[in-house]
């Protein structure tokens, strides 16, 4: 790696020019390619033109999908605040993914397109929860550069098949070809995105009803599903035991999902309601876990701080 360290402190063209006439040129070039392929998970293009030599490296790799397929954990948070400042900050705190919420949040496709660039330069993967199982919405959020989707209210095998078809390009699916920001508006090779998108886009289906629990094996048998995600409030509500997460019926449903995920090779996911809940979910075996929800975390932090200050004031009076 001795050639890689100085290279990272220079522009690619300057670095390559520096090593072009040296014995270390080829090794340095290979080091750069290896570094990009193993550490960068955004679409990148590096072009070096000199003496008719052109080197192009295109990378579209989904870090979260890789982690989950390796049986590792991917930690993330929900985004509902329509602010580039919030996204830029959250994408730099060490989260594996951020989920932009179109179902219960007020974000629209145009909002998300404006917010996504705030994750540039990080390895935090941008995902979108769409408001409904609609192939047009799926196509639009993928075209603007989302690396995956979460789909609510998935209850049957047919529901999942519709999701997977909407994500995949023909012949596997029905997604129309017209990526925008996903290929940086034509600056990246469209054919490369076409070939890699189906393998790299993360597909998360929400298991939130009794029908979904009863059909879980069929749902997770559909090729292309990466995560079975549980929202505890919706699931408990649909089981008739809203908020009672200790109820045997709720615990039985959780066990059924975890067991099916293990059999089918799908990562189980959980919307944790607190850090303690997240740690408990990880202990149970969940792999795709949220630890925060931007607006709720903000209000909880301020509420906690003001309560501490007011308690202190009470001692002074």
**Is residue 280 within 8 Å of 246, Cβ to Cβ?**
no
The pLDDT tens digits along the chain (317 residues) read 333 333 333 444 444 444 445 445 556 565 665 555 444 434 343 333 333 433 344 456 899 999 999 999 999 999 999 999 999 999 999 999 999 999 999 999 999 999 999 999 999 999 999 999 999 999 999 999 999 999 999 999 999 999 999 999 999 999 999 999 999 999 999 999 999 999 999 999 999 999 999 999 999 999 999 999 999 999 999 999 999 999 999 999 999 999 999 999 999 999 998 899 999 999 999 999 999 999 999 999 999 999 999 999 999 97
- List, in sequence order, every beta strand (DSSP E) within 34-107: 45-50, 53-58, 74-79, 97-101
**Is residue 177 within 8 Å of 203, Cβ to Cβ?**
no
Neighbours of 34 (CB within 10 A): 12
**Is residue 32 within 8 Å of 4, Cβ to Cβ?**
yes
34 catalytic? Reply is: no
CA distance 60 to 249: 42
Residues forming CATH 3.20.20.60 domain(s) in the chain: 63-299
Neighbours of 196 (CB within 10 A): 16
pLDDT for residue 100: 98
CA distance 152 to 131: 7
**Is residue 279 within 8 Å of 291, Cβ to Cβ?**
no
Output DSSP code: residue 121.
T
**Is residue 250 within 8 Å of 237, Cβ to Cβ?**
no
Burial class (CB in 10 A: 0-12, 13-18, 19+), 219: buried
Residue 44: helix, strand or coil by DSSP? coil
* Active-site option among 34, 50, 69, 104: 104
pLDDT for residue 171: 96
Backbone φ/ψ region at 12: left (φ over 0), alpha (ψ -120 to 50), beta: alpha
Q: Report the CATH fold assignment for 63-299.
A: TIM Barrel (3.20.20)
């Amino acid at each position: 790696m001795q050639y890689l360290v100085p290279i990272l402190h220079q522009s690619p063209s300057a670095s390559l020019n520096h090593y072009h006439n040296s014995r270390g040129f080829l090794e340095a070039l290979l080091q750069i390619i290896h570094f990009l392929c193993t550490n960068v998970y955004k679409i990148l293009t590096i072009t070096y033109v000199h003496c008719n030599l052109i080197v192009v490296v295109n990378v579209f790799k989904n870090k979260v999908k890789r982690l989950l397929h390796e049986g590792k954990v991917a930690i993330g948070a929900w985004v509902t605040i329509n602010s580039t400042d919030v996204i830029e900050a959250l994408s730099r705190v060490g989260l594996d993914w951020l989920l932009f919420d179109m179902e219960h949040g007020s974000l629209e496709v145009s909002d998300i397109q404006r917010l996504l660039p705030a994750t540039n330069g990080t390895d935090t993967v941008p995902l979108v929860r769409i408001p409904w199982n609609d192939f047009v919405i799926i196509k639009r959020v993928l075209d603007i550069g989302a690396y995956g989707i979460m789909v609510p209210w998935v209850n049957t095998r047919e529901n999942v098949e519709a999701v997977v078809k909407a994500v995949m390009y023909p012949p596997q699916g029905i997604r129309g070809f017209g990526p925008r920001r996903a290929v940086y508006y034509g600056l990246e090779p469209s054919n490369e995105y076409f070939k890699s998108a189906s393998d790299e886009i993360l597909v998360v289906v929400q298991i939130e009803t009794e029908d979904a629990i009863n059909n879980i094996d069929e749902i997770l048998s559909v090729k292309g599903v990466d995560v079975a995600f549980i929202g505890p409030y919706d699931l408990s509500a649909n089981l008739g035991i809203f908020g009672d997460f200790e109820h045997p019926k709720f615990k039985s449903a959780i066990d059924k999902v975890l067991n099916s995920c293990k059999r089918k090779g799908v990562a189980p996911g959980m919307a944790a309601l607190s850090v303690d809940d997240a740690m408990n979910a990880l202990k149970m075996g969940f792999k795709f876990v949220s630890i925060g929800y931007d607006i709720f975390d903000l209000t909880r932090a301020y509420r906690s701080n003001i309560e501490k200050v007011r308690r202190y004031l009470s001692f002074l009076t």
